[in-house]
Structure 1
Amino acid sequence: MADDRNKVLFVDDEENVLRSLRRMFVDEDIEILTAVSGREGLALLKENEVAVIVSDQRMPEMSGFEFLEKSMRIAPDAVRIVLTGYADVSAAISAINKGGVYRYLTKPWNDNEFVITILNSIERYSLVKENKRLTALTRQQNEELKQWSAKLEKYVQKQALDLKKQNAELKELNECLKGNLRDFISAFANLIELRDKSVSSHSGNVAVLSAEMARRRGLADADIDTITIAAQLHDIGKIGISDIVLLKNPAHMTPEENAEYRTHSVRGQSAVDSLEDLREAGVLIRHHHEWFNGKGFPDRLREKGIPEGSRIIALADQFDRMMHGYTTHSVKNVLEAMRALLGTRFDPELFPLLVETATERYSSHGLAGMETAAGIEAELPLLELLPGMVIARDISSGTGVLLLSKGTVLNEQNISALKRSFHIDPSKTGIYVRPSRK
């Protein structure tokens, strides 16, 4: 069976020193290699993957510094340490400053300090190797994402795509990737709502409210973008929750069902963590069910220990859930109900941001409230469509024919045509609209 222990190479022209060094590590899970010259040490490096190289400075034929410099070409990631007498300390420091040598140890040495130094060096070597592995993995994932994005762009916009754009500059490609990432996020947000049709448009509404609250808070654009993404995907972990649990009010769940439900915020973070650009959003997703008094989940964080973005999303999430689907709930009533939870569930300092945002964007819930709910989309029955409303998502017939594109402003003519089309070939998806444009 292969020996997976880390290897340490000691190079010294004195055999008794090498024997002493070997004895020091007899109880450690380390494979010790020894060489009596720089030439022999280089030969061992060619045959073994070595984590740490320790060389005496004063050796015949090849000095320790010369050996360590040559070793860099064979084992560039190995941690290099030079053994030197007190008289050679200045030369050792010079070697460290010039590069290649991690540190020096003086003769005679303290055995305990020597062992600790070697063990720390092995850990440093392992961290460097792991960092390189993760960097290579990230590079591979980014390359796969670029390839997927290019194919998607060609499929969706094939008539407008110019084949010469495949040779465009990296900056242009990065902009395309950002746009595709936004589409990817929107697609996942829509997928979440397929699990629970009672909260259609919830993710989009929470994103709009959270983004506006973050702007009023004066946060940086990058932080606002992260909060918006996290708000869109805050319920993504529910995709893995059973329908029986998902359709229940948490207050009516059994202990087992409640335990399963409480996993969704952690699952949400895990779902986006493989994409480096979404990792900060993943942290906000994880903590959007934490309570201000520390009684939330999953980590029972409290007060300012909860990320600010998570505290913002928690307010927007609860507000839209209380408004969504209840025509008798006014903005005022919902805000008053939430006010009673300040200091326990929600951050009192951030609540005024919700009051300002919600008051401006809603007058009352439902169709009447849409006139002031700028940016909020809602799913409506065909018979409730009115001229001036804006289509929020593409509308297709049951057989997949595009009837109205996102952004289309409804009028009497296209509403009438839509009714005829639905009579012949009913759509299998809902009709999502935004309020009329002013």
Structure 2
Amino acid sequence: MGEPIPTTPATLLLVDDEPGILSSLRRLFRPHGWRILTADGGAEGLEILAREPVDLVISDMRMPEMDGARFLETVRERRPEVVRLLLTGYADISSTVAAINRGAIYRYIAKPWDDGEIVLIVQKALEWAGLERENRRLSEQIRRQNEELRELNAGLEDKVAQRTAELAQTNGFLNLANEELKRNFMVSIKMFSSLIEMRQGAVGGHSRRVADLARRLAARLGLDARAQQDVLLAGLLHDIGKIGFPDGLLAQPPSRLSAEEQQRYRKHPVAGQDALMPLAELHQAAAFVRSHHERWDGLGFPDGLEGEAIPLGARIVAVVNEHDDLQTGMAAERQLGSDEALQAMLAARGRRYDPRVFDAFVELLGGGAEAERDCVLLAGELKAGMVLARDLHGPGGTLLLAADYVLDTRLVQQIQQFAQREGALLQLHVRADKRH
């Protein structure tokens, strides 16, 4: 709400060179509660105006030295908010017009005046002046408020822009942190999967090879990125349920196991799933681990699932796992070559293995575009900026660096020194488009 209009008595300045007129006007106006000031000429009127708050001026037209027209013009210049009235006779029409034009008077009053009429004119003039004053006050208030609003809006825009920049920066940091967590998570999984292969009699690199081929096979079969990731994790961890097996049980193929050992061996998929279930990110991969020994014909374990009831990720891991086991001697009496292993598996197509998955695997091993995108280099050929296409393992199968790691000068020197110190022929797979 606006401020109330001031209620202090209005001040009237009466200017005339005739004392009788001043006395008459003073007696006429005083009963109305107005404060009355008088001057006998324009010069004195301007002096009073300079030091007193005046709301309304009544000036006679005919005065010596400074007539009413000139006086009111000066009042308009110095105090434009003061209401100006002119007393004039009928013979002064031309002067009155000049006063109206130059002094912008509110009203002229003809002599002799009517007491009631002149009082009413003054009252209306003061009311008009009050409204004008209030209008100016409100206009100024609105101007200030608009200016404050503009400043506030500008401040808000700056704050919003600043907050948006802060949020973008924070989001960038979170994304970097999230990517780092993902990388660390994958490295931890790969190192965890290496534990079983460090046991006596285990074949180094088995889980790594299964995981890599299983992911590529999942991509060939059209699985989305998340499903490919779950297949990769399942490949890395599919044997984690064997972590508690004695060395003798780990070192021989299932066909050589005793009935008691066979019974324990058949429990490892469930044990593997149980070990992984506490981590929400591994729930789907754990389901694949549980079912990777199921058969297409329903004669597998641990649940005897058949056909499409077996999760696709588990069917993928099953084919790749069997192919690697045949080559390492863990699924046959002797080690087979890759083509021999495929021929041995062909007889079980449609019984042990999903036909579609098996056929896609054969096509994959026949040579795919993905394999062609990798370059195999020796340690001495590495350069900073290269990106690993596959995990780097030491001669014993220990994970040294995870896939997708960007090599810098320090790492290149460390890998070369390691190869020289260990006398190892390290072969590294790097992205073909990142080898220069």
TM-score (norm 1): 0.48
Structure exhibiting the larger radius of gyration computed from Cα positions: 2
